[in-house]
Amino acid sequence: MARVSQEHLDARRRQILNGAALCFARNGFHATSMQDVLKEVDLSAGAVYRYFSGKEELIGAIVAEVLETVRVTYERAAQESPPPLPDVLIPRVMTQIQEVKPGKLDNGDWVFPRLMIQVWTETLRNDELSVLITAGYDKVRAAWAKLVESYKAAGLMPEEADADAMARTMIALAQGFAAQMAVFGAASPEILRDGLRALMSMRESAARP
């Protein structure tokens, strides 16, 4: 019997994750059955269950992949000299997240923002998913904290700046923008860039009495 290559296994896993993400984004997590996923990816139950035990494992794998993409992007940014400022970095992250396969639905909506809202809701009732997303969020916060230290080393931020406070704020900004996209429709990351530049241009001395 011919041995199946790792490349083939990885491609099949990618096919299943892409199909599941489309189904969840299109119809919602609870309204999607495993039969819907099987139909989307055009595979047998045995082929799919070889990789994933069910919907919960599928959504967990999708979430882990997105969080890992974000973490790696921030950690690489911290190694740049000088590190990219938030008005460059956050839109970069949003663009990369949007481009995580499968990207868009047939109607043009981005898959990730719609999934994000559903994952947050599911996290409130699913302890295993909550543990997974909390661990991923903590890693992203830690990556942002490294980035803040890079800002300080480059003289772009005062030494007394609270790294964790900035990490939480920047993550919330990206999450909020994604939530807007999910609820109100697609928007270009350039909007986020321009808004951040406007905020960063404010002068504290002029804003305070």
CATH number, position 134: 1.10.357
Contact status, residue 123 vs residue 146, Cβ threshold 8 Å: no
pLDDT band at 3 (very low <50, low <70, confident <90, very high): low
Query: Residue 37 falls within a domain, yes or no?
Result: no
pLDDT band at 159 (very low <50, low <70, confident <90, very high): very high
Query: Residue 113 falls within a domain, yes or no?
Result: yes
Query: Residue 137 falls within a domain, yes or no?
Result: yes
Q: Which domain holds residue 98?
A: 56-207
Distances (CA, A) of 11 to 15, 59, 107, 194, 205: 6, 18, 25, 38, 55
Taking each helix axis as running N to C, give the angle between helix 55-79 and helix 111-123, from 0 to 180 degrees, rounded to the nearest 10: 110
Report how many domains make up the chain.
1
Residue 85 has pLDDT above 70, yes or no: yes
Q: Could you tell me which residue, 105 or 85, shows the higher pLDDT?
A: 85
Give the tens place of pLDDT for each residue, 40-52.
Answer: 999 999 999 999 9
pLDDT band at 205 (very low <50, low <70, confident <90, very high): low
Residues 6+ apart with CB under 8 A from 161: 148, 151, 152
Query: Residue 84 falls within a domain, yes or no?
Result: yes
DSSP states along 50-103: TT-SSHHHHHHHHHHHHHHHHHHHHHHHHHSSSPPPHHHHHHHHHHHHHTSTT-
Query: Residue 25 falls within a domain, yes or no?
Result: no
Contact status, residue 112 vs residue 66, Cβ threshold 8 Å: yes
DSSP-derived secondary structure letter, 110: B
Query: Residue 130 falls within a domain, yes or no?
Result: yes
Give the tens place of pLDDT for each residue, 91-147.
Answer: 998 888 877 777 788 887 888 888 889 889 889 989 999 999 999 999 999 999 999
Query: Residue 39 falls within a domain, yes or no?
Result: no
Query: Residue 51 falls within a domain, yes or no?
Result: no
Ramachandran angles phi, psi of 103, nearest 5°: 85, -90
Please give the model's pTM, rounded to 2 decimal places: 0.83
Q: Map residue 187 onto helix, strand or coil.
A: coil
